[in-house]
Amino acid sequence: MQRVIVQVPMSQSLKSMAETVASDMGFSSLQEAIRVILTKLSKKQLTLRIEEPEEITDLSPTAERRFKKALADIKAGKNIYKPKNKEEFFKMLRS
């Protein structure tokens, strides 16, 4: 197997943080973590999902708690009403 070297310019702080996380995840080195990721990526066994964090700004503490509870309920599938059809949906909105 012919080996190549891939160079990825990055800040020292990014490298240090990545090394710490890789170690916490059980990798012997950052290089090992990158090899595992690239191997899975090359076999289409890796799914990447990029999401922005949900930001809560300018809410009172009470509203923030209610918002967080609503998000947790949605993710858990609790306290959610699912109308059977569009007529039922619009009836619910008008009530």
Backbone torsion region of residue 77, taken as left when φ is above 0, otherwise alpha when ψ lies between -120 and 50, otherwise beta: left
CA distances for 63 relative to 47, 54, 70, 71, 93, angstroms:
35, 15, 10, 12, 22
Query: What is the domain partition of the chain in residue ranges?
Result: 1-48, 61-94
Q: What is the pLDDT of residue 56?
A: 64
User: In the chain, what's the furthest Cα-to-Cα distance?
Assistant: 69
Q: What is the pLDDT of residue 79?
A: 84
Residue 54 is encoded by which pair of tokens?
């949900």
The answer on pLDDT for 92 being more than 70 is: yes
Placement of tokens 């490298």 in the chain: 15
Q: What is the pLDDT of residues 13-61, one digit of tens each?
A: 999 999 999 999 999 999 999 999 999 999 999 888 888 776 767 778 8
